[in-house]
Amino acid sequence: MSMFNRNEKETGTGAAVGEKPSDAPASVAAAPKPAQPVVQPVVQPAPEPAPVRSGNAGPSVISKALKITGQLESTEDIRIDGEVEGDIHGVSVTVGNGAKVKGSVYGQTVELSGTIEGKIEAKKVVLTSTAHMAGDVIHQDIKIESGAYIDGHCRPGTNKLDGKPAGKPN
């Protein structure tokens, strides 16, 4: 009976997982007294803490394997590596290399490394060397790297380009 009690006490204090009762430092820290020949109770390994993910924060990522048919609207950043058929409204929209968008892209900042068939309307537009742009670009500030493909008009939009679809700028 006493042994049983001692075991219970050991279970309560020895929170750490120790295979050897005397040698493991965690066990020593938990029980500062010299090791006594007790029967080590079977300690189940503590379940691993779930990986903390900042799930809600951060940008939306449309991965390479995903295809979306429809409209995307966000008040945060969007990164597209897959395929979207439809309009995209975001703050900062990044279309990665290999990604494809059929539709209009609206945002404060649009960075294109993939393909857009449609329109870009943004304050700041960056077309990288791998960009393929088939359609008009309405911008206030544009950067086009050597190698980018554009088939369409680039014109400065004097209207407010705040990510919302503007009227026809003429």
Partner 1 sequence: MGTAMSAAQARLLLKPPRAEGGTPLSASHLSQSLTVKGDLDSDGEVHIHGNVSGLVLVDRLVVEVGGSLDGDVVARDVHIEGRMTGRIFALNVTLESAAEVSGRIFHNTISVAKGARIDARMPWRPPSYFETLEQLPEVRQ
Cα-based distances in Å from 4 to 8, 36, 39? 6, 15, 10
If one asks whether residue 163 binds partner 1 (CB under 8 A), the answer comes out as no
* C-beta closer to partner 1: residue 67 or 160: 67
Q: Does 52 bind partner 1 (CB under 8 A)?
A: no
> Shortest approach of partner 1 to residue 98 CB, angstroms?
13
| Residue count, binding to partner 1 (CB under 8 A) | 27
CA-wise closest residue to 137 among 77, 146, 111: 111
> DSSP label at 12?
H
97 makes contact with partner 1 (CB under 8 A): no
CB of 136 to partner 1, least distance (A): 23
Q: Is 109 helix (H, G, I), strand (E, B) or coil?
A: strand
Q: 87 — alpha (psi -120 to 50), left (phi > 0) or beta?
A: beta
- Among positions 57-96, residues that touch partner 1 (CB under 8 A) are 57-76, 78, 81-82, 85-86
Q: How would you class 122 by CB atoms within 10 Å of its CB: exposed for 0-12, middle for 13-18, buried for 19 or more?
A: buried
50 binds partner 1 (CB under 8 A): no
Does 23 bind partner 1 (CB under 8 A)? Our answer is: no
Q: Does 158 engage in binding with partner 1 (CB under 8 A)?
A: no
